[in-house]
Amino acid sequence: MEVKSINISESHKRNRIQVSNTKKPLFFYVNLAKRYMQQYNEVELSALGMAIATVVTVAEILKNNGFAVEKKIRTLTVDMRDEPEARPVPKAKIEIMLGKTDKFDELMAAEAERREVGDSEEQN
């Protein structure tokens, strides 16, 4: 029986959100990042190429609204292939690590309360 070693950095990446330029709305990523921060206390937003602008916008929304603080930003270039035999194409990549602010839990509670008030008003 072979025992595989587990790469610590890979197991740590459960809190990574890979943002793409699909049709997902911006606030899908904002709300997902909030849930990840609730669960893991920090979240890593990651993107390639044209999706980098989306990641930066998501990070700025979270920071400007008091939910997150920037812990680390890393930029790099990775080689991507469309097909296994294709030539590698260099793509820009960004990784932004965000952590919870001191006000995070308070802001989340206030947001949940606003939603409950809105829901009860709709039912009346």
Domain housing 29: 14-123
State pTM to two decimals.
0.81
pLDDT band at residue 99, thresholds of 50, 70 and 90? very high
Is 1 within a domain? Answer: no
Based on the structure, what is the number of domains in the chain?
1
Is 7 within a domain? Answer: no
Residue 23 sits in a domain whose CATH number is: 3.30.110.20
Alpha helices in the chain (DSSP H): 8-11, 26-40, 52-64, 104-123
Digit-coded pLDDT (tens) for 28-49: 999 999 999 999 999 999 999 9
CA 13, 41, 75, 28 dihedral sign is positive
Is 72 within a domain? Answer: yes
Digit-coded pLDDT (tens) for 51-89: 999 999 999 999 999 999 999 999 999 998 888 888 999
Is 4 within a domain? Answer: no
Is 118 within a domain? Answer: yes
CA 30, 99, 40, 9 dihedral sign is positive
